[in-house]
Chains A and B, each alone.
Chain A
């Protein structure tokens, strides 16, 4: 299978053979993480940035009293902490939702990329800007949407992000989040999450079998969520020099 970082960056325009070779080389060191295992521990100061090659991961903040907010879901091709290259100490944490294969990209290799490959540098910068756009949309969802809108919006978003990396078939995709995870991501109780999902099911909008979710009426789900995928900039082209 094609390196998911290369696939993701090529959505924004073709890469040269040399650029692809560099990406292959700097993502060659990999490790497997079990579900719930920390990929980037909270408060750590890694000497590499972690790239998700397969599986799902979640980003989270904990309050001192133990309450947790999930702030993002990461899918293959996403860096968990590209920003640790410059921020050094990680101010939140990333852990595996499912078993994950992760590449450790040494910060010294990122330094070389920024020195020698301006197009790759801008492409990586673009990915962090899109991560920021997703955070802003989540903030809007958390601040302004009700439970049904929030969950519908998330399902629309996850479908489109997974579709862009070839992980959706007939509007079916893996949803590895438990009720407790969804609860911590969307500021709802687990009872409210389950009730809302069951209502979306009984309205015929979604069905699920185990961890696989199917969207049966994408148009209606998008209408409920007032969903517009422009913020994902999935096919946004990046100019070359």
Chain B
């Protein structure tokens, strides 16, 4: 299985994913990243903060090629996206 890395871009800072996860294909990697974002945002909501809402996941392959950028906000259900 290919390995995918989910770096987190926050303004100018990148929180690296040094390890990555093995998943069957890019669709699975995207779905896994979206679930991950929802988990992070759920905790932010519980804590009453919105500082993670501008972050993005930069999904790369093993060679470091950027496959996809997923803004955190895109992982929200549609009616919540306009809230920021």
Q: Could you tell me which A residues sit within 8 Å of B by CB distance?
A: 146-147, 178-180, 188-192, 194-195, 198-199, 202, 208
B21 and A190 form a contact (CB under 8 A): yes
| 24 A/B residue pairs, CB under 8 Å, sorted by A | A146-B43, A146-B47, A179-B17, A179-B21, A180-B21, A188-B39, A189-B32, A189-B36, A190-B6, A190-B21, A190-B32, A191-B35, A191-B37, A191-B40, A192-B39, A194-B6, A194-B8, A195-B8, A195-B15, A195-B40, A198-B15, A198-B16, A202-B15, A208-B18
A191-B40, A194-B15 known; 6 new pairs, CB 8 Å cut-off, are A179-B19, A191-B32, A192-B43, A194-B19, A195-B8, A198-B16
Q: How far is the CA of A128 from the CA of B18 in the complex (A)?
A: 36
Number of A-B residue pairs having CB atoms within 8 Å of each other in the complex: 49
Chain B residue numbers with a CB within 8 Å of A146 are 43, 46-47
Chain A residue numbers with a CB within 8 Å of B47 are 146
CB distance from B52 to the nearest CB of A (A): 8
Residue of A nearest to B32 (CB): A190
- If the complex has contacts A147-B43, A179-B21, A180-B21, are A191 and B33 also in contact, measured as CB distance less than 8 A? yes
B39 and A191 form a contact (CB under 8 A): yes
| B73 proximal to A (CB < 8 A) | no
Q: How far is the CA of A192 from the CA of B17 in the complex (A)?
A: 11
Please, how many residues of chain B have a CB less than 8 angstroms from a CB on the other chain? 21
Give 4 closest A-B pairs by Cβ, nearest first: A191-B36, A189-B36, A189-B39, A198-B15
Chain A residue numbers with a CB within 8 Å of B19 are 178-179, 194
Q: How far is the CA of A192 from the CA of B8 in the complex (A)?
A: 10
B40 and A194 form a contact (CB under 8 A): no
Chain B residue numbers with a CB within 8 Å of A191 are 6, 8, 32-33, 35-37, 39-40, 57
Q: How far is the CA of A193 from the CA of B46 in the complex (A)?
A: 17
Chain B residue numbers with a CB within 8 Å of A192 are 36, 39-40, 43
Q: How far is the CA of A180 from the CA of B21 in the complex (A)?
A: 7
Chain A residue numbers with a CB within 8 Å of B33 are 191
Q: How far is the CA of A192 from the CA of B36 in the complex (A)?
A: 6
CB distance from B42 to the nearest CB of A (A): 9
Residue of A nearest to B15 (CB): A198
Chain A residue numbers with a CB within 8 Å of B17 are 179, 194
